[in-house]
Amino acid sequence: MLYYKFLISINKCLINEKCTSLYIKDFSPKLIPLNGKTIINIYLNEYINEKIIEILLVNIPCLLINSSNIIQCQSQLSNSSRKGQISIRFSNSIYILSKENIEYCQSSIISINPNIVYEFGGQILHINGQNLFIGNEQKIFIDNYQCIQIKQTLLNTLSCRLPSMISKIYNITFKIDHQVINIEQKLKVTPNPIVQDIDPTLSFA
């Protein structure tokens, strides 16, 4: 009977986070898209030579890719926005939880500005919405042209510099990691303005 109690005590300790010095030091990104396929980088405070049995992101399995110095896993689909801890279970029954939460977010586009531009390029396109800066990377495409993202200045506005394009109406696509969002608004590219005359040509100071 005493031996049985001793076994229970050991098992209880092994699956208790306080019984190990191992912990999740940091992870990135902390905001991820719903459709999954985002690579999560998890940093532990020390190396552990144990097989990882399971990684959960808010109770959703994360597909293990690498378990060497940095643990990497690929997020899976979530059917709704949710927020919670990352948990990792090892083969020796050690079970650890992140102190910070990871969050599945639904991104949405509200508007673009401007929606009419000239052919010569270099103009700044602003995309306004919610949860635009999530995942590992964000890309904007004007049909097959990539719009080069510039430094973020506003929380819910993503800005990029337009390339030179021929005159026509273009579709805009916003990509977060592997999630593609088609923007309803179109971008119209018009011919460059032409100066035909200047009048007057002289002016007084």
From first to last of the 205 residues of the chain, give the pLDDT tens digit: 433 333 333 334 444 444 788 999 999 999 999 999 999 999 999 988 899 999 999 999 999 999 888 999 999 999 999 999 999 999 988 999 999 999 999 999 999 999 999 999 899 999 999 999 999 999 999 999 999 988 776 778 999 999 999 999 999 999 999 999 999 999 999 998 887 777 777 766 6
pTM (predicted TM-score): 0.80
* pLDDT value of position 9: 34
Q: Dump the DSSP string for the chain.
A: -HHHHHHHHHHHHHTSGGG-S--EEEEE-SEEETT--PEEEEEESS---S-EEEEEETTEE-EEEEESSSEEEE----SS-EEE-EEEEETTS-EEE-SS-EEEE--EEEEEE-SEEETT--PEEEEEEES-S-SS-EEEEETTEEEEE----BTTEEEEEPPP--SEEEEEEEEETTEEEEEEEEEEEEPPP-----S-S----
* pLDDT value of position 205: 61
Domains of the chain: 22-104 (2.60.40.10), 108-190 (2.60.40.10)
* pLDDT value of position 143: 95
Are the C-beta atoms of residues 112 and 125 closer than 8 Å to each other?
yes
Pairing of β 39-44 and β 31-33? unpaired
